[in-house]
Structure 1
Amino acid sequence: MIKFLDLQKINAQYRELLIQKSTGLIDSGWYVQGQMVKQFEEELAAYCGVKHAVGVANGLDALTLILKGYLQLGRLNPGDEVLVPANTYIASILAISESGLVPVLVEPDLQTMNLDVLAAKNKLTDRTRAILNVHLYGRVSWSEELSDLLAEKNLLCIEDNAQAIGAIFKGKKTGSLGDAAGFSFYPGKNLGCLGDGGAVTTNDDELAAMVRILGNYGSQKKYHNEVKGVNSRLDELQAGLLSVKLPFLDAENARRREIAQRYLKEIRNDKLQLPQDPANETEHVWHLFVIRTENRSQLQEYLSGKEIQTMIHYPIPPHKQPAYSEWNNHSFPITEKIHETVLSLPMSPVLTDQEVDEVITAVNNY
């Protein structure tokens, strides 16, 4: 069986280092908000090229705390509108709702499956204050047109960087392009821990301080609570394990690009539409390799018969979910087409050349 993502094999590469780091933590006697979190925050900030990184409990909390931080600082107000791609994973939208802000869904570009800037312009109102820009599937969602729009309308830009750590736009890494960014270190991400984890990056001193306060019960001094916060802190153990894996991230992303280039060059089947290849291959870190086909169930069943695992990211769009029943009758035809036709092929840095050969051969023979 060719696994869609072999997490055991990925982490086995670093087994001894992970054990050493875990043993060091056990022996230290300091298990929350210690030196391992501080070290990883410094490493992540340096990697992304920003002033601040703040560890939090997970990727959803990262986005939520950014938005709540802006509310506390008065840069957003309850009821303000935040534009967000309609085809994103629902977590991006949940963060907006949870913060008392209004998510406004924007149809994506069908080719990149990222934010369509023209469509975003058409959704602007006098209540629009921010764009939550998602680097979906590992592809950078950024352009000069987006920068111009943000400047012209004085909008905040929050990057959802859960899937694109290490991706680059004109020499700058994702996580440093907007005003702030949220990261997820869920095990299946390009940089994954062995549990849940997340972080916020920003160059904004005030926002970084507020995110840290909000994630620590609203406190920066023990038993002194300045604001109504939550408990959302990156676990000391997970921070240590992420510090082990971060130095290998660029090499793993490079392997993902090698596999993606083979798929793009060698898959030849007119029943499929392959993802668009960016002009600069270092932009994309290929968290997922997502094809589109009108016969998705048939193809998935066929590949399963060949012992090749695939996944659907994502089968149901947010506006069709019961959680957002108020949108269930709304029509987003591009988003719906994407969710009805996407299929993710195996993609991980530990796929062997032989396994890639087998995937390509099977897809071409379909």
Structure 2
Amino acid sequence: MMNIPMLDLSEQYQHLKEEIFQALEKVMSSSHFILGENVKKLEKDIAKYSHVAHGIGVANGSDALHISLLACGIQPGDEVITTPFTFFATAGSIARIGAKPVFVDIDPKTFNINPALIEAKITEKTKAIIPVHLYGQAADMDPILEIAEKHNLFVIEDAAQAIGAEYKGRKVGGFGDTACFSFFPTKNLGAYGDAGMIVTNDDQLAEKIRVIRVHGSKPKYYHHVLGYNSRLDEMQAAILNVKFPHLDAWSELRRKHAAYYTQLLSDLKEVVTPYEDENSYHIYHQYTIRVKDRDALQAYLKEQGVQTMIYYPLPLHMQPVFADLGYKEGDLPESEKAAKEALSLPMYPELRKEQQEYVVAKIKEFYHQS
């Protein structure tokens, strides 16, 4: 029996170990641990990569969303449209401000927000849209941007899972008023702890974000707004600077593995493999299949040494914390269906063909036994 983890970072670490140690030693020797040269370099490089003017390092991806909303002037009582099929932070950042998350159902093929359903949810209280580029595939941005322009709404890209993904040949991160990246260790570009970044082309928003992340002070000790302590630290930035030059190669390996999974699964009618939109360059943060008897399949794969993950078993509109929003089962059927069918298979750049073959063999074994 093979044991195949959902994600294995050990081989990547061994490959980069010496370079990472050297980078960390430089930080230690400099004794400059907060907002130093490593952070500045990473901010500049990620901004350039995203084809925008500004990168602002923050403590994590959740703070990136929250601070973006604050910089855009979102206030208690405002409404922000987003998807219910995403990690909690997307809607949690809205609620923490006192604004109201308004959920729009997903396109069942891409798992991303369905632009055709957005306009019906806009009211006089709507101030922003947060599209999520889920699993590493860009949301359909053109119609979202058209709707936002028509109704004078901010667009904040939740690109936590999608650094390097493209929409119509352009990198995600450069479409919205701001975009938010997460460098959580499991992400395609992962730190060795929490880390995040906001990118924007808007000089005024960039300045607001920089002030908010340091307790709202400018200059130091003079506070004009209530901000947060949310800074990307030097050690995480140093690690990310070592990793960043490898990102595109890792993305290509993920795409290669995804294509092989799809090839291996092509003759299995019980499995719906990931759909890649013609406008998208999917970087496969996750390789997520859809199956009817998902929980039983997951249990069987676990018995066979294959780790899988369910992202996300309960859509946000059904979460107890959002009960006061008044949603009920059946309101957003595609998100609810996806929550019952989606299963993510092991995916990381160092994944080997024989591991993929074993995973798929066990999936086929399950259905042949069934």
TM-score by length of 1: 0.95
Alignment correspondent of 2:350:
350
Q: How far is the alpha carbon of 1:12 from its aligned partner?
A: 2.2
- The SS at the match of 1:157 is strand
Alignment correspondent of 1:269:
268
Structure 2 letter corresponding to 1:191: L
Q: Is residue 2:72 matched to residue 1:70?
A: yes
Within the candidate set 155, 160, 173, 1:157 is matched to: 155
Alignment correspondent of 2:42:
40
Alignment correspondent of 1:198:
196
Cα RMSD (Å): 1.4
Query: How far, CA to CA, are the matches of 1:230 and 1:277 in structure 2?
Result: 38
Alignment correspondent of 1:313:
311
Contact 1:161 1:184 in 2 (8 A): yes
Tell me the matched-pair count: 361
Structure 1 letter corresponding to 2:115: V
Q: How far is the alpha carbon of 1:326 from its aligned partner?
A: 1.5
Q: Within 5 A, what are the aligned runs for 1:1-366?
A: 1-71=3-73, 76-267=74-265, 268-279=267-278, 283-327=281-325, 330-331=328-329, 332-366=332-366
Structure 2 letter corresponding to 1:295: D
Structure 2 letter corresponding to 1:100: G
Contact 2:190 2:240 in 1 (8 A): yes
Q: How far is the alpha carbon of 1:60 from its aligned partner?
A: 0.5
Query: How far, CA to CA, are the matches of 2:183 and 2:349 in structure 1?
Result: 16
Q: How far is the alpha carbon of 1:77 from its aligned partner?
A: 4.2
Query: How far, CA to CA, are the matches of 2:358 and 2:273 in structure 1?
Result: 17
- The SS at the match of 2:118 is helix
Q: How far is the alpha carbon of 1:327 from its aligned partner?
A: 4.1
| Residues 137-195 of structure 1: per-residue CA shift (max 9 Å, x gap) | 10000243223222222221100000000001122111111111111100000000000
TM-score by length of 2: 0.94
Contact 1:193 1:241 in 2 (8 A): yes
- The SS at the match of 1:219 is coil
Contact 2:211 2:227 in 1 (8 A): yes
Greater shift, 243-252 or 282-291, is seen at 282-291
Contact 1:320 1:327 in 2 (8 A): no
Contact 2:145 2:155 in 1 (8 A): no
| Residues 261-318 of structure 1: per-residue CA shift (max 9 Å, x gap) | 11122203222221212225x6100000111112112111221222111011111222
